[in-house]
Structures are given as C-alpha cells and as structure tokens.
C-alpha cells in the first residue's frame, strides 16, 4: 500500500480534500404527459446536477425500455475512485440487472454528453437499441464526435444515434462546473 506521506509519491490525488462547490443549477420536472426525448434528457440532466452535488463532473444518464425508466445514474468516478464509473456504464449495468438480460436492444440510453470510447463500446456490446446524447465531444466522443465505433466493420450491432437534444443546457452545466473548479483553486 502506498504511503501518502512518502516523498517518493508526490502526485497523490487530492480530490477528496475539499467540499463540493455549490451547484447553481436546479432540477426540472417536465410534464409526464409528453414523454419524448426532451423529457428523458431533462431527467438525465437532473442526474448530472446530482453529480455536481457530489463534486463529480456533471454528466447524467437515463435508460428507458418501453416507456419505463430502468436506470438512472451520474458520473461517480471520483467518489468510487473507479475510472469505469461513468454515468453510462453504471446505467447500463443497472438496466441489464433490471431486465435480467445483458442484451439491451429494446432500450434507449439518454446521456448528457457523447459517450467516450469505453461507454460507446459498452453501448455497442450491450446492443443498446438507441443512444441519445445532448452534447457532442469532438475530443473523446466515439459515436461520431472524435470517431465512430458504431461503424466497426466486424460488429453485428449498431446503435441508432440521435444527437443535440438539450445541447445548450448540458454544455452550460459542464462549462459552469469547470469554471467553478478553476475559480476555487
């Protein structure tokens, strides 16, 4: 086990040394009369707000099957100290558990930011029927932003993709979070 006080380990993580910055965003509860993509993305954004309150990069995800929410999660990488604890990964595990099946063909994933290589890969490997993301990610997004894992030649599954729903709102919360973090330093 590493000794935190050793001079030989100067780069120890410090993320747990501070309390969360107050989140200026409040959750919205859209009308249940119109359960469209906007409705579910709003709920994914609510999850992102939960993430901020736990001092996590605010990214949220919801998974829906036949109009029923089977998973809701936010990024928990820092609190779990787990690099795989992205919102989408947690939500995919929840959804598979909810239906006792790893195949999520009937499911739609709503996520506030375009999935990274890991989460885009997990979306394809779980055969997610549809992925809806708000904000594109030209650096790490792997469903069309930086690259597109969906067009791997050897894969026999492709997720239907919709992008851009509530893009501005989901961009704002991520930008505000990093601005607040910079201001706090």
The residue from 47, 56, 88, 114 that is catalytic is 88
86 lines the binding site for Zn ion (CB under 5 A): yes
119 lines the binding site for Zn ion (CB under 5 A): yes
Structure tokens at 97: 């558990």
Burial of 183 (0-12, 13-18, 19+ CB in 10 A): exposed
120 lines the binding site for Zn ion (CB under 5 A): no
> For residues 59 and 165, which CB has a smaller minimum distance to Zn ion in the complex?
59
Stretch that binds Zn ion, among 16-24, 98-106, 113-121, 170-178 (CB under 5 A): 113-121
Select from 108, 119, 15, 147 the least CA-distant residue to 59.
119
Select from 70, 81, 128, 74 the least CA-distant residue to 102.
128
Out of 41, 44, 109, 116, which residue is the one contacting Zn ion (CB under 5 A)?
Answer: 116
Stretch that binds Zn ion, among 46-54, 70-78, 84-92, 145-153 (CB under 5 A): 84-92
Q: Hey, which residues does 148 pair with through a beta bridge? A: 143
Cα separation of 159 and 21, whole Å?
36
Q: How many CA atoms lie within 13 A of 158 on its CB side?
A: 11
Stretch 121-140 residues interacting with Zn ion (CB under 5 A): none
Cα separation of 103 and 26, whole Å?
34
> For residues 18 and 81, which CB has a smaller minimum distance to Zn ion in the complex?
81
88 is catalytic: yes
Please state the closest distance from residue 61 (CB atom) to Zn ion, in A. Answer: 9
Q: Active-site positions?
A: 88
Question: Site residues (CB under 5 A) for Zn ion?
Answer: 86, 116, 118-119
């Amino acid at each position: 086990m590493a000794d935190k006080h050793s001079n030989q380990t100067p780069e120890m993580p410090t993320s747990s040394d501070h309390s969360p910055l107050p989140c200026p965003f409040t959750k919205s509860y859209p009308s249940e009369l119109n359960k469209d993509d906007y409705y579910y993305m709003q709920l994914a954004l609510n999850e992102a707000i939960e993430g901020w309150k736990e001092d996590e990069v605010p990214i949220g995800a919801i998974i829906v099957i036949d109009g029923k929410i089977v998973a809701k999660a936010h990024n928990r990488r820092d609190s779990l100290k787990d690099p795989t604890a992205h919102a989408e990964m947690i939500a995919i595990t929840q959804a598979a558990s909810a239906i006792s099946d790893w195949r999520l063909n009937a499911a739609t994933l709503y996520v506030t930011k375009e999935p990274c290589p890991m989460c885009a890969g997990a979306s394809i490997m779980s055969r997610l029927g549809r992925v809806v993301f708000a904000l594109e990610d030209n650096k790490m997004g792997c469903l069309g932003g930086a690259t597109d894992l969906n067009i791997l030649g050897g894969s026999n599954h492709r997720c239907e993709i919709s992008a851009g729903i509530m893009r501005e709102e989901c961009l704002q919360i991520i930008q505000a979070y990093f601005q607040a973090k910079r201001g706090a330093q």
